[in-house]
Structure 1
Amino acid sequence: MQRLPTTTLRTLLASSASNSFRPPTRLFTIPKGPTAKRFSTNFGQNPGILNALRNQRAKWGAAAGFFTKGSSRTLTTDNTIIQRKEFSWQKLAWTAAGVAGTALAVDTIFNRDTRDPLTNGEREYLNSSFMYTGAGVGLTAIAARTLFRNGVAFRIMAANPWVVLGISLVGSIGSMMGVYYTPPERPIQKHLCWLAFNGFQAATLSPLFFLNPAILSRAALYTVGMVGSLSYIGATATTDRYLYLGAPLLAGVTIVALSSLAPMILPMGLRALVFTESISIYGGLAVFGGFVLYDTQKILKHARMSEQGLMRGDPLNEAISLELDIINIFIRMVQILAMQNNKRK
């Protein structure tokens, strides 16, 4: 048996491996006369040259990916050019002047003669109530964002809406009643019910984070401005006239609630749906704005009664009502801004 050198063996192996990727060479013989003609399908290709080209191509492909990129068809587009708008101090000044003028006009109309300065007890009671309100709104926002990041909002959106509505109503109302009927002498139990109330509100509001963050930021800013101005008007009003809005506001919130639930129960046409949606959004915004006035004056009345010993003061109970007003105003601000954003598209 004849032994082949190592280099020759490697050449044969490389040649056989390279030939496995192309059709085999066939040899044909045509007898014609005394001589025979032969031809093959190899077309005179040199295996050594082909192997060298393949090796060089593999090296280039590994180094720069040139042949890989060249063998695929891609579609490239230019990046969208975003032009940054220049900041206009003139627009800012006009906006600030408009807001200040509107606030001054509203305060002049509603509070022509301001009441006597608040006593220390009234001021302390009002500050404590708004402190709990701000803390509750902040905890609700943080908890809603945390639940959204952990995927709870996806499960809520995928669940049965009636089940979600029932659980949220039962949990919110149950925890709220726990806050109302727990005396201040049990601060731990009362604050636990308050935290549970904020947790149920956060679970209900967590799907809002699917929306554009710019819409949520603007809605939060508008809500703060609206609630702040209405609270100021209610706190500095000359009389307790806004306390008489309780019955009309209760009727209004009933209509708003029915208009929100009607599309889920009754079959309606497109115009009826648009009408009920307008009542739920804009009517609800007006109703809960009136509730801010009513609840602010109710806090001051309870502060005076607490000073006189007619009732026991409980700022945490007062904060629940204001927090519900703020949440409902914020939701309707989000709906209005989302509708405007869809119309622009």
Structure 2
Amino acid sequence: MLRPNLFVYLRPLSKAAFSSARPIYPTRAFSNFRPNVLQTLHKRSPNFSATFFTPTRTLLTDSTPVVARPSQSEAWKKYAVTAATVAGTVVAVNVFLNRETRDSLTPAERSYLNDSFKYTGGGLALTALAARSMFRSGFAFRVMSANPWVVLGVSLVGSIGTMMGAMYTPPENTVLKHAFWLGFNACQAATLSPLWFFSPAILSRAALYTCGVVGSLSYVGATAKSDTYLYLGGPLLAGVTVVALSSLAPLALPLGMRGLAITEALSLYGGLAVFGGFVLYDTQKILLHARMAQAGQITADPIRESIGLELDMINIFIRLVQILAMQNGRKK
């Protein structure tokens, strides 16, 4: 027996009911024409055009700058004062520390000293370029956010290992010796890369002062009487030990504000005095080794001699950067 499908019969009725109950709205045609409101207001109201279409002052062009750059005359005055300070330091050091001079350097001494300073300058240039590239790549941020003890341990192991390799590799093994020398400069660059957080003005001034101090002390050491400053080896070693301990004391000891100030002063100003003495000592040691190499007692090794001078200059530079940054902070 067939069952009629009621849904089939009810569908036409439902369609008719809903179609009759649905309201019919008139359709509205939208045109693509859009009137320019600003143009219309500009034509109708002259006050509107005078208010909104008149050029006004901007902060970028007419306002007074927050920080005024020094004029060219002021900049030259600062350069002159800096140059006079460096020249005065050279003269003062030469007067007080170099009262007894020696004869002119022999060709062997002059050549050996020049070769040592060439490697020193080349190593410092490589260190600066590598530190800058590490800073731009974000390596300095990772160093600053890492554990200070881990950074200290890794930097000491890397620096001391490559330094010993560069110093004690025979000069005949040129490739390996230069590889250790490049590794030593890379380790120094990794340690010094956070210094680029300081202002470039502070870094440039510290570099200029470092060149002046090291240049004057090297001149004194080269022209002083033979073996005058070689006796400073023992006292300087004791002094650098005190400076190192004063630098590490805030990491290990619970010091108060006065204790921190004392250790910071020992690390900064005591370090300047100690490493300035090391420049005198290393310069005369280079001349002594030049005479010994000429006599055939040792093998000439300018790379080994340059490492000591490079460490002296780096330590002096770091302390000058800290001192200049502290002075700049007090001015603010």
TM-score bracket, normalised by the shorter chain, equals: 0.7 to 0.9
The aligned residue for residue 27 of structure 1 is none
Give the Cα separation in 2 of the matches to 1:92 and 1:215. 14
Q: 1:141 aligns with which of 121, 128, 132?
A: 128
CA displacement, residues 3-54 of structure 1 (integer Å, 9 cap, x when unaligned): x999x5227xx9xxxxxxxxxxxxxxxxxxxxxxxxxxxxxxxxxxxx97xx
User: Aligned in 2, Cα 1:303/1:278: closer, same or farther, shift over 3 Å?
Assistant: same
The aligned residue for residue 169 of structure 1 is 156
CA displacement, residues 111-139 of structure 1 (integer Å, 9 cap, x when unaligned): 33421211111111100000000000000
User: Aligned in 2, Cα 1:216/1:114: closer, same or farther, shift over 3 Å?
Assistant: same
Give the Cα separation in 1 of the matches to 2:70 and 2:116. 43
Q: What letter is aligned with 2:152?
A: L
- Most deviating of 217-226 and 114-123: 114-123
Q: 2:118 aligns with which of 124, 131, 151?
A: 131
Q: CA RMSD in A?
A: 2.9
State the Cα distance separating 1:104 from its structure 2 match: 3.1
User: Aligned in 2, Cα 1:150/1:299: closer, same or farther, shift over 3 Å?
Assistant: same
**Secondary structure of 1:142's match?**
helix
Q: How does 1:88-103 map to 2 (within 5 A)?
A: 99-103=86-90
Q: 2:250 aligns with which of 263, 267, 273?
A: 263
The aligned residue for residue 65 of structure 2 is 80
Whether 2:210 is the aligned partner of 1:190: answer no
TM-score (norm 1): 0.77
Give the Cα separation in 2 of the matches to 1:149 and 1:137. 18
The aligned residue for residue 106 of structure 1 is 93
State the Cα distance separating 1:159 from its structure 2 match: 1.1
Give the Cα separation in 2 of the matches to 1:93 and 1:84. 15
Q: 2:36 aligns with which of 32, 41, 56?
A: 56
State the Cα distance separating 1:94 from its structure 2 match: 6.7
Q: What letter is aligned with 1:241?
A: T
Give the Cα separation in 1 of the matches to 2:129 and 2:79. 30
Q: 1:335 aligns with which of 322, 325, 331?
A: 322
Give the Cα separation in 2 of the matches to 1:211 and 1:91. 20
State the Cα distance separating 1:59 from its structure 2 match: 8.1
Q: 2:227 aligns with which of 236, 240, 245?
A: 240
- Most deviating of 106-115 and 160-169: 106-115
State the Cα distance separating 1:84 from its structure 2 match: 3.3
State the Cα distance separating 1:102 from its structure 2 match: 4.6
* Structure of greater relative contact order (alpha carbons < 8 Å, 6+ residues apart): 2
Whether 2:199 is the aligned partner of 1:212: answer yes
User: Aligned in 2, Cα 1:132/1:167: closer, same or farther, shift over 3 Å?
Assistant: same
User: Aligned in 2, Cα 1:93/1:174: closer, same or farther, shift over 3 Å?
Assistant: closer
Give the Cα separation in 2 of the matches to 1:304 and 1:183. 19
- Most deviating of 76-85 and 143-152: 76-85
User: Aligned in 2, Cα 1:117/1:263: closer, same or farther, shift over 3 Å?
Assistant: same
Q: What letter is aligned with 1:84?
A: P
User: Aligned in 2, Cα 1:248/1:87: closer, same or farther, shift over 3 Å?
Assistant: same
Give the Cα separation in 1 of the matches to 2:180 and 2:196. 25
Aligned residues: 291
The aligned residue for residue 280 of structure 2 is 293
Whether 2:33 is the aligned partner of 1:9: answer no
The aligned residue for residue 209 of structure 2 is 222
CA contact (8 A) 2:90 2:213 kept: no
Q: 1:303 aligns with which of 278, 290, 294?
A: 290
User: Aligned in 2, Cα 1:108/1:200: closer, same or farther, shift over 3 Å?
Assistant: same
Percent of aligned positions that are identical: 62
Give the Cα separation in 1 of the matches to 2:80 and 2:329. 29
State the Cα distance separating 1:101 from its structure 2 match: 4.8
Q: Which runs of 5+ in 2 are unaligned?
A: 1-24, 41-48
Q: Which runs of 5+ in 1 are unaligned?
A: 15-50, 61-65
Give the Cα separation in 2 of the matches to 1:190 and 1:212. 35
TM-score (norm 2): 0.80
